Amino acid sequence: MTRFPNPVRLAILWIGLGLARAGVIDRERAIRTTDLAWPRVLTGIARMSKNAVDVAMVGVAIGSAAIAGVGFAGPFWGVAFATGGGVAGGTIALVSQRYGADAGEQLGLAVRSSTLLVVLVSLPIVALFFSFPEELISLLSSDDRAIAYGAAYLEIVGFGVPFAGLNLVGSRVLVGADDAYSAMQLRGGGAVANVVINAVLIFGLGLGVVGAALGTVLSNVIVTAAFAAGLSRGSLPIVGAFPVRIDPRGTYLDRETIVDLLEIGIPVGARNLVWTAAEFPMLAILDVFGQDVVAAFVITRRIWGLMNTPGWGFGLASSSLVGQELGTGEEDEAERYGREIVRFAVATYVVSAVIVFTFAEPIVGLFVDDPGDPAIPIAVRFVYAACLAIVLKGVAGAAAGVLDASGDTTVPFVSQVLGMFCLAIPLAYLGAVTPLGLWGVYLAFLAETTVPAAINYWRFQSGAWKTVSRGYRPDTPKSG
């Protein structure tokens, strides 16, 4: 399929070729990394823009209380999303190695087992969110209006949990098989559809936060159906041919594959859960400062999500390319890819952070209808701190991608726990109970990324991940 030029690809390629001219990375590896990373970055921009637009629409339609309510519901949705992401982390490790080794039968088994696992772990979460939405939101806030908005959102959005998890698995299958472009078309298209549906439901039908939740569920259902059809047929109209075709009639429950998925995926899911779990005490701490600080923090996290989209691309490119090299036994080449992708990611994050830092005030202003809203100046200062912290995400995320590809997923999980719970949360708490004030929150942003960056890169440098990967490679002859 023809890959049409677009600003995201051109921007990333420009950075990569600049680094290549400076002798920092290899030109061919820069191009191959760009080809895998940019569709995922664009998907991330679309999805994070969708999340930001959700908050902006709710804020414009209702006000900061609704922003806070959706923000309080966010960690619960994050729990569900991280669960599916954990399974998907195992999926990309197994798929990329099997794709690199041309082990098609084992690849299909990995995908079917991942599908079953996502459904099994998601259904109890759906039941919990539907049955106890108000009780769950009340754990984080005593603000009656925010609780009401958050509960209304959570009760409905919970039905999207299994579909969101299946979408992550479908995306990782394609990226692991060297096709991030098709995954981008489906998930990015779903994000655009979500925005359109939300606009109709929130403003056209006046459904407010319920409309935002319904839009999320419906768009995830649409994307899941597209992935299922495309992977089972090996192609999809408009999107075109897929690199793999998965027979849906094969075995779903294979003990060895399930064990591998759990061994690799549980630490990945736990790592994804770290921030989500940290949001509970963080939002409770911020609630002490008041509703305006909570709203400012929610706005900042949405902007953070947009700035963090390079990590989506480089982390998955790292997992896919490193995994494929490991699948053929080319450990030295895998290491070269990993090292250069880290450098590439950091440079891209610097560009992203500089742009957002420069335009922080007008960007924050897009989230509220009233320019005099007291949450605006607080959010702007939060964004400045986030811009400094986000650069280290390039190191943490790209290095974690290498470890994920090898199956060495425990260390990134531990590093994230240490960063969040041993530094970030305590710093925010000190800000709430001492004269440190909001400086505690600024420092928490920095702590969140500094510790994982240092530990993940140390683990990558150690080379231990190569040994770990040998236990997950397909049982096929390897070249090299």
- Kindly tell me the sign of the dihedral angle through the C-alpha atoms of 330, 87, 193, 52: negative
Which pTM does this prediction carry?
0.68
Q: Where are the domains of the chain?
A: 7-469
Beta pairing, strands 235-236 & 240-241: antiparallel
Query: Hey, what are 195's tokens?
Result: 């925005």
Over the stretch 89-101, which tens digit does the pLDDT of each residue have? 778 777 777 777 7
- 223 near 189, Cβ under 8 Å? yes
DSSP letter, residue 419: I
* Tens digits of pLDDT across the chain (480 residues): 344 457 878 888 899 899 999 999 889 888 888 887 887 787 767 666 666 666 667 766 666 667 777 777 777 877 777 777 778 777 877 777 777 777 667 788 888 888 888 888 889 988 988 888 888 888 776 777 778 888 888 888 889 888 988 988 888 888 778 777 788 788 878 888 888 888 888 777 877 778 888 888 898 899 999 999 888 888 888 888 888 788 888 788 778 888 878 887 777 777 777 767 777 788 888 888 887 888 888 888 888 888 888 877 887 788 778 877 887 778 888 888 888 998 999 999 999 899 999 999 888 887 776 777 778 899 999 999 999 999 998 899 888 888 888 878 788 888 988 998 999 999 999 998 898 999 999 999 999 899 999 999 999 998 888 888 887 766 544 333
Which residues is 240 bridged to in the sheet? Answer: 236
Q: Say how far apart CA 430 and CA 446 lie, in whole Å.
A: 15
Query: Hey, what are 120's tokens?
Result: 């099994």
Over the stretch 42-64, which tens digit does the pLDDT of each residue have? 776 766 666 666 666 776 666 66
C-alpha distances in Å from residue 11, one per residue of 34, 35, 43, 182, 311: 10, 12, 15, 20, 15
